[in-house]
Chain A
Amino acid sequence: MQSGDFTVLLQRWANGDKQALDALTPVVYAELRKLAASFMRHERPGITLQPTALIHEAYLELATGAPPDLQSRAHFLAVAAHVMRQILIGSARKHRALKRGSGNRVELQDDVAVPAQQCEELLAVDEALERLAERDARKAQVIELKYFGGLTREEIGVALGLTLPTVKRDLALGEAWLRRALGGSVAEAQA
């Protein structure tokens, strides 16, 4: 895909074209996986991979030659956050299945580094976000951009065309709603 096409697709997505997202997803997906792999090759002790860092790097890789305007960058980050959520949820589902299926296959225990509790936590967040989206899609999206994409409130505003106070209000209610929905979760209660 040429970077020009890429910018056009981002534009179309920003204007509400759902098909543009379908076209963008595999490209962003591949880029994020590639960056995750390359991160591991240069891994240094004590540094944890942040999804946010990946998403920003993916933008630098994919948007070469695109006009460096704030809006298309924010649009890209929003798409990347969405894709990142899909990747991480898919990965968590796989890990949960591995753990559940590993009843008598002890050797798998060592392979799975993510504690079971964090897997469950992540899947619970995803399910709660889905429920929030049914009630108020915009709030769910704002949460997605902040947590899966690491976007700042300003970036979220640019990406979704919202004023900063609106973003703040959406985040406040969305977070409260999610915390309440996740109330039963042990991890969240400790936080």
Chain B
Amino acid sequence: MTQWTQEQWQELEQLFARAAALPLEERAGFLERACPSEELRREVSALLEHANNGLTAAGSAIAAEAAELAREADPDERLIGVHLGPYKVEAIAGHGGMGAVYRASRDDAEFRQRVAIKLVRTAAATPSTLRRFRQERQILAQLSHPNIARLLDGGSTADGVPYLVMEFIEGEPITAWCERHANGVALRLRMFLRVCEAVDFAHRNLIVHRDLKPANILVTKDGTPKLLDFGIAKLLDPAAEDQGITMTSLPLMTPDYAAPEQVRGEAVSAATDVYSLGLILYETLTGHKAQEVTGHTPATVARVVCETDPPAPAALKPQLAGDLDNIIRMAIRKEPQRRYGSVADLAGDIQRHLEGRPVVARRDRLTYRVAKFARRHRPAVAAALAVLGSLCCGLILAYWLGEPTRRPRLLRVLQITQTGRVEGASGVVTDGKRLYSTERLGGRWTLASVSVDGGVTSPIPLPEQFFQPDLEDISPDHKSFLMTAAGKEEERPLWAMSPRCSVPYVTCNWMPSSTLLPAASAIWSSP
């Protein structure tokens, strides 16, 4: 097609309009007479041949594409532009486990507030689950900490789907932030400590996060860490309270940061958050994920989370060898009771490491590792032991018979407690896992326990009237203590007490002047 000048195009337009208004048979003659050039005449004739017909094929192509577009459209987009309470939904900010997370804003005459809105599409929205949901929401709404994104509000959409309104946080996940902004281990540890402080604050308010992961720990432009979705995982999981946690609750957590007890459907506690924090610390310091679940079947998830030990942090970054390696590995131990007792303990160890003081975390003892290995490979170990046993039997017998018994020798001294408080003034008893003793705390004596590996002592409260307690013994089943405490006048009753209920019951009165010492075994065997 020729390139027309503006004037020629206008001329063409007029000729076309005038010719089109004429009956078909008159058009050719008109163009012969009216067109100044043969080129223009050919062009107008060609256009007239295509005139008086719509673009039907184009129209149907457009309709087909529109239908396809609708077919593919994201159902989450339907909320965009909708008002939820005083908030107008603006855009999809991301996708969470339960559906889309939206960015919304509240426009008041006074100020404009930006919020995140999370839809909660649980399976059954029965009145009882909704009531529990509201109660939990109330508890979470009271959690106020500068490093925890506030839960502001909640409600239900027109379709009855509950939603949560949260502080909108713009930032990058802690792992990405560390990569870009925090060079060096110490800087990363200090950021991590701020996160621990916030988690510990929530724990002291009896709220466990349950789904800590880098995506839930954002660092804002000014370098402030903000924890998102505190306690939301529990809120979203009606099974958590009503029927106990089941395997159906698997999709609610992020397997890459889940703790073994979550995968097994066991009780979730502060130790669960310790584990996830350990994984995050591992990742921020080594640059590698500690736990990576590739499949989604419960069996795959369980194998990775419950059985696979990640490579030692020091194996990936040699400068982490020692304290930090021990700290991380203690936080991510598979058994909750063998991790740090609290996030504060974990933070305390990191703080001590930063200050160059000795830390609590120790490598697993050899005996533990042997026992664990044996548990994992039970048949093989049994067979090996049988062979070894028969081989060695004769040797050992010969050795025993031939050598006099050796005197015990002190192999190692381990500092058990670090609180600086007076401990174990009376007896010290053990159930093999923890040492129990008395401890002077705030002018009063209490019972206290500490792991046999050492660490932080945790006090076991005693009733008010319990003066000057002495720990005498522990029952063979490790369920009760035998204690004495000052009674009236010269009396010194003998008590039995379970460390769990800490309500002692008196078993007999024992006068110090008496030479009669009750036989503990008799007491223990009575119900």
Contact = CB atoms under 8 A, between A and B. Distances in A.
Contacts of B47: 173, 176-177, 180
Contacts of B78: 34, 37-38, 41
A91 B64 CA distance: 11
A37 B50 contact: no
A150 to B, nearest CB: 9
Contacts of A20: none
Contacts of A188: 55, 57-58
Interface stretch (A11-19, A66-74, A110-118): A110-118
A37 B58 contact: no
Given A34-B81, A175-B55, A188-B57, A48 B62 contact: no
A135 B9 contact: yes
A49 B67 contact: yes
B53 A175 contact: yes
A173 B16 contact: yes
Given A113-B68, A125-B58, A172-B52, A33 B73 contact: yes
Contact of A176 (B51, B68, B69): B51
Nearest to B60: A118
A48 B63 contact: yes
Contacts of B16: 172-173, 176
A49 B70 contact: yes
A91 B78 CA distance: 18
A91 B69 contact: yes
Contact of B68 (A37, A50, A95, A177): A95
Nearest to B12: A173
B194 to A, nearest CB: 36
B63 A173 contact: no
A41 B130 CA distance: 26
A187 B56 CA distance: 9
Nearest to B58: A125
A181 to B, nearest CB: 8
B67 A187 contact: no
B66 A121 contact: no
Given A37-B74, A118-B60, A172 B20 contact: yes
A39 B77 CA distance: 12
A167 to B, nearest CB: 12
A40 B73 contact: yes
Contacts of A130: none
A188 B53 CA distance: 11
B77 A49 contact: no
A113 B70 CA distance: 12
B333 to A, nearest CB: 44
A180 B50 contact: yes
Contacts of A114: 64-65, 68
B71 interface: yes
B64 A147 contact: no
Contact of A91 (B17, B52, B65, B79): B65
Contact of A36 (B49, B58, B69): B69
B91 interface: yes
Contacts, number: 144
B63 A187 contact: no
Interface string A105-133: 00000001111001101100100000000
A178 B65 contact: no
A147 B62 contact: yes
Given A51-B62, A122-B61, A36 B55 contact: no
Contacts of A84: 66
Nearest to A179: B50
Nearest to B46: A180
Given A40-B73, A169-B17, A176 B50 contact: yes
Q: Is the interface of A mostly helix, strand, loop or mixed?
A: helix
B55 A179 contact: yes
Given A31-B81, A173-B13, A191 B57 contact: yes
Contacts of B64: 114-115, 118, 122
A148 B59 CA distance: 8
Contacts of A88: 62, 65-66, 69
A87 interface: yes
A182 B81 CA distance: 39
B111 interface: no
Max chain A C-beta neighbours (<10 A), residue from B50, B62, B69: B69
A104 interface: no
Interface string B78-89: 111100000000
Contacts of A22: none
A37 B62 contact: no
Nearest to A126: B58
B48 interface: yes
Given A125-B55, A191-B53, A34 B77 contact: yes
Max chain B C-beta neighbours (<10 A), residue from A37, A61, A114, A135: A37
Contact of A48 (B49, B50, B67): B67
Given A176-B16, A179-B53, A122 B69 contact: no
B54 interface: yes
Contacts of A179: 50, 53, 55
A125 B68 contact: no
A41 B76 CA distance: 11
B177 to A, nearest CB: 29
B107 interface: yes
Nearest to B20: A172
Contacts of B51: 172, 175-176
Contacts of B80: 30-31, 33-34
Contacts of B23: none
Interface in A152-191: 169, 172-173, 175-180, 182-183, 185, 187-188, 190-191
B61 to A, nearest CB: 4
Contacts of B75: 37, 40-41
Given A91-B68, A114-B64, 8 more contacts: A30-B80, A36-B69, A49-B67, A122-B65, A125-B58, A169-B17, A180-B46, A182-B55
Instruction: Give 6 nearest A-B pairs by CB, closest first.
Output: A37-B73, A179-B50, A36-B70, A187-B57, A121-B61, A122-B61
6 contacts: A36-B69, A37-B75, A112-B68, A114-B68, A122-B58, A125-B61
